[in-house]
């Protein structure tokens, strides 16, 4: 077979050689040991938590080592593409503070190793495809879907390995004339790799899983689809070689196709990168774990965390606890340090299911927000509100001083309050500070009937001195509580419930509900000073 003639027939427009292309992607000038990493999201419109999980690994490896982290849009599957999906990925990554050094951006490409959208790299793939044909390592296949189905059915019935290989690879050695005639008649074709029939095994050292051993590829897998666009396998090898990725961080679902990738790196004579196959995200379902599902689990979508207003740092810290088993220990020892200073390593990564536990995320989120200054909380919360709750953003902008004072309530001291778990939740929790959003939905404690309420608030408003300090104010509350027949000490009421109508717990809960709408609210004296005397009097006056 004249492979050169076949190559020219299939790729008449390709005039460049592989050296010409390689010359356009010169070696990167990077310090010794620098890692080059990437994420390769497909623009399907769905960005999942796994994308961020893998992005964090790549970002940390690259930026800890003085390397490069880039974004490549893997848009070879046109059927799955959704308009605007690239922007969705970029927005999600920006929301979570993932910083790229190069790659696709909303404005176009940034960097010297582009294009960073695979469909725009078609002519690059064709140069290497043509070279493989010249070497006798690739050939055109004209089989139709129906023909392939028939072979598969036959193989299944005969209990043989299914696929296009060996004697089943009917187009392997078509005469040049047949190829020419098929092309002339416009028959669609794909380009296949010529696999070897072999029992050899391959060994790959995965940076997360250790040694992987599997049979060497023997399939004639597809390199170029009928529209000339490469498959993931071919694009991955060509791009990661030319863009010089040193680490391939991707989900474990790709392990099964690793033999094809290794085969291609070897056929093309290129060094293999280091593979890091990450654990699948799982959740508890009753007593057992299962894979997160796009259909059943909203928390798989990154947009869920954006919409819920879980702050960027909390999601990072949560994923870092999943990624590196020693992160939590490090956080306890370094409570104030930026998480970017945590020494992330691949050695500490688990290779089995990463457990997504929303309760844990909420706890981390509380801690993260609690560590922020009131100013930082204000800025972050406001940015989120501008995107997701513009009406609340307007409130924050109308009352910046009150909001900052409110955010400082319960902040100091040994045991600061941890009321906020996210920005959406903050809009609910903090709504009582603004007359525009204040409502009372919680029931008053049953110990206080309407007459008692009226008596309490009347006495309270009469004696209320907004200038009094917290101790003087509390003395007044106790006095009033006692006068109405409630125990000033909760334990007295517990011991002798028959002697009292209730305790100070009930009177202060009533006060808290009247002022904030909730029995579980921060310190009444502090809240009153954020609200101001007029508001306090107006809210309590409603009960007279
Ligand atoms: N486009 C692939 C995916 O979305 C990326 C895999 C890789 O990073 O190589 O799964």
**HEC states along 167-198?**
HHCCCCCCCHHHHHHHHHCCCCCEEEECCCCC
Mean pLDDT of the chain: 96
Best of 37, 38, 39, 40 to mutate for ligand 1, by most ligand atoms within 8 A of CB?
Answer: 40
| Cα distance between residue 97 and residue 394, in whole Å | 25
The alpha-helical segments, DSSP class H, found in 25-121 are 49-64, 85-95
* pLDDT at residue 485 in the model: 96
Q: How sure is the predictor about 79, in pLDDT bands with cuts at 50, 70 and 90? A: confident
Best of 251, 264, 273, 280 to mutate for ligand 1, by most ligand atoms within 8 A of CB?
Answer: 251
> Per-residue pLDDT tens for 263-273?
999 999 999 99
* pLDDT at residue 87 in the model: 93
Residue 42 CA to ligand 1 center (angstroms) comes to 7
Res 72 pLDDT > 80: yes
CA distances to 7, 129, 275, 528 from 267, rounded to whole Å, are 17, 11, 18, 75
* pLDDT at residue 54 in the model: 97
Between CA 160 and CA 165, with CA 162 as vertex, the angle to 5 degrees is 100
> Per-residue pLDDT tens for 219-253?
999 999 999 999 999 999 999 999 999 999 999 99
Q: Answer for the pair 230, 183: CB distance below 8 angstroms, yes or no.
A: no
* pLDDT at residue 371 in the model: 93
Res 293 pLDDT > 90: yes
Average pLDDT over residues 32-44: 96
| Cα distance between residue 234 and residue 221, in whole Å | 10
> Per-residue pLDDT tens for 162-206?
999 999 999 999 999 999 999 999 999 999 999 999 999 999 999
- Tell me which residue has tokens 């010794």: 32
β-bridge pairing 354-355 and 281-285: parallel
Res 501 pLDDT > 90: yes
Closest CA to 368 of 403, 416, 430: 416
pLDDT over 70, % of the chain? 100
Residue 156 CA to ligand 1 center (angstroms) comes to 30
* pLDDT at residue 412 in the model: 82
Q: How sure is the predictor about 333, in pLDDT bands with cuts at 50, 70 and 90? A: very high
What are the backbone dihedrals phi and psi of residue 502, each rounded to the nearest 5 degrees, phi first?
165, -160
* pLDDT at residue 350 in the model: 81
Of the candidate ranges 79-88, 224-233, 256-265, the one whose mean pLDDT is the lowest: 79-88
* pLDDT at residue 41 in the model: 94
> Per-residue pLDDT tens for 399-419?
999 999 999 999 988 899 999
Residue 39 CA to ligand 1 center (angstroms) comes to 7
Q: Answer for the pair 258, 214: CB distance below 8 angstroms, yes or no.
A: yes
- Does any ligand 1 atom lie closer than 6 A to the CB of residue 250? yes
Q: Answer for the pair 118, 235: CB distance below 8 angstroms, yes or no.
A: yes
DSSP 443: P
Q: Strand pairing partners for 218?
A: none
* pLDDT at residue 80 in the model: 81
Residue 81 CA to ligand 1 center (angstroms) comes to 14
* pLDDT at residue 83 in the model: 87
Q: How sure is the predictor about 82, in pLDDT bands with cuts at 50, 70 and 90? A: confident
CA distances to 138, 486, 504, 512 from 479, rounded to whole Å, are 92, 10, 10, 17
* pLDDT at residue 144 in the model: 97
Res 132 pLDDT > 90: yes
| Cα distance between residue 138 and residue 268, in whole Å | 12
* pLDDT at residue 353 in the model: 77
Res 482 pLDDT > 80: yes
- Does any ligand 1 atom lie closer than 6 A to the CB of residue 43? no
- Does any ligand 1 atom lie closer than 6 A to the CB of residue 236? yes
Average pLDDT over residues 23-42: 96
| Cα distance between residue 384 and residue 402, in whole Å | 19
Average pLDDT over residues 251-278: 97
Q: How sure is the predictor about 1, in pLDDT bands with cuts at 50, 70 and 90? A: confident
The sign one gets for the Cα dihedral 281, 287, 293, 299 is negative
* pLDDT at residue 464 in the model: 97
Res 21 pLDDT > 90: yes
Average pLDDT over residues 523-530: 97
Of the candidate ranges 19-23, 121-125, 285-289, the one whose mean pLDDT is the lowest: 285-289
**Preceding omega of 334 cis (within 30 degrees of 0):** no
- Does any ligand 1 atom lie closer than 6 A to the CB of residue 40? yes
* pLDDT at residue 423 in the model: 98
- Does any ligand 1 atom lie closer than 6 A to the CB of residue 261? no
To which H or E segment does residue 509 belong?
helix 504-516
CA distances to 386, 391, 456, 465, 486 from 381, rounded to whole Å, are 9, 13, 37, 33, 41
- Can you tell me which atom of ligand 1 is nearest the CA of 39? 8
- Can you tell me which atom of ligand 1 is nearest the CA of 74? 1
- Does any ligand 1 atom lie closer than 6 A to the CB of residue 239? no
Q: Whose CA is nearest to atom 10 of ligand 1?
A: 41
Average pLDDT over residues 83-106: 93
Average pLDDT over residues 275-291: 95
* pLDDT at residue 185 in the model: 97
* pLDDT at residue 497 in the model: 94
> Per-residue pLDDT tens for 138-161?
999 999 999 999 999 999 999 999
- Does any ligand 1 atom lie closer than 6 A to the CB of residue 74? yes
* pLDDT at residue 517 in the model: 96
- Does any ligand 1 atom lie closer than 6 A to the CB of residue 42? yes
Q: Answer for the pair 320, 393: CB distance below 8 angstroms, yes or no.
A: no
């Amino acid at each position: 077979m004249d492979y050169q003639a076949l190559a020219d027939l299939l790729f008449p427009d390709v005039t460049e050689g592989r050296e010409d292309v390689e010359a356009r992607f010169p070696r990167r000038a990077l310090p010794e040991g620098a890692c080059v990493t990437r994420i390769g999201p497909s623009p399907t419109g769905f960005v999942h938590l796994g994308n961020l999980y893998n992005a964090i690994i790549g970002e940390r490896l690259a930026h800890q080592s003085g390397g490069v982290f880039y974004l490549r849009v893997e848009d070879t599957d046109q059927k799955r593409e959704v308009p605007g999906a690239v922007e969705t990925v970029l927005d999600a990554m920006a929301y979570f503070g993932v910083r790229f050094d190069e790659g696709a951006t909303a404005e176009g490409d940034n960097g010297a190793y582009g294009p960073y959208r695979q469909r725009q790299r078609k002519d690059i793939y064709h140069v290497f495809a043509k070279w493989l044909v010249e070497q006798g390592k690739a050939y055109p296949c004209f089989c139709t879907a129906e023909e392939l189905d028939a072979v598969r059915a036959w193989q299944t019935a005969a209990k043989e390995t299914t696929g296009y290989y060996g004697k089943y690879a009917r187009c392997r050695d078509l005469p040049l004339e047949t190829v020419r005639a098929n092309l002339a008649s416009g028959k669609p074709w794909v380009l296949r790799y010529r696999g070897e029939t072999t029992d050899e095994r391959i060994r790959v050292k995965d940076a997360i899983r250790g040694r992987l051993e599997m049979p060497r590829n023997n399939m004639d897998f597809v390199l170029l689809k009928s529209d000339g666009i490469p498959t993931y396998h071919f694009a991955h090898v060509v791009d990661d070689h030319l863009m010089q990725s040193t680490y391939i961080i991707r989900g474990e679902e790709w392990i099964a196709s690793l033999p094809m990738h290794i085969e291609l790196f070897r056929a093309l004579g290129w060094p293999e990168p280091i593979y890091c196959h990450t654990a699948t995200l799982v959740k508890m379902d009753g007593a057992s774990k299962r894979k997160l599902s796009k259909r059943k689990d909203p928390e798989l979508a990154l947009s869920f965390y954006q919409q819920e207003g879980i702050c960027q740092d909390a999601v990072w810290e949560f994923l870092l606890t999943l990624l590196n088993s020693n992160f939590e220990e490090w956080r306890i020892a370094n409570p104030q340090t930026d998480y970017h200073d945590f020494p992330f390593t691949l050695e500490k990564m688990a290779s089995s299911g990463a457990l997504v536990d929303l309760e844990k995320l909420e706890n981390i989120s509380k801690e993260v927000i609690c560590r922020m200054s009131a100013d930082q909380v204000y800025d972050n919360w406001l940015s989120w509100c501008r995107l997701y709750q513009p009406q609340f953003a307007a409130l924050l902008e109308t009352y910046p001083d009150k909001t900052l004072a409110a955010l400082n309530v319960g902040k100091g001291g040994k045991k600061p309050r941890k009321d906020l778990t996210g920005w959406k939740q903050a809009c609910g929790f903090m709504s009582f500070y603004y007359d525009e959003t204040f409502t009372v939905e919680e029931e008053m404690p049953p110990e206080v009937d309407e007459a008692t309420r009226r008596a309490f608030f009347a006495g309270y408003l009469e004696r209320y001195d907004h200038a009094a300090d917290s101790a003087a104010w509390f003395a007044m509350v106790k006095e009033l509580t006692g006068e109405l027949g409630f125990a000033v000490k909760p334990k007295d009421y517990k011991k002798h419930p028959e002697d009292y109508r209730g305790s100070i717990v009930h009177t202060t809960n009533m006060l808290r509900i009247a002022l904030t709408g909730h029995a579980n609210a921060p310190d009444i004296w502090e809240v009153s000073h954020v609200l101001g005397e007029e508001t306090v009097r107006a809210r309590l006056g409603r009960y007279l």
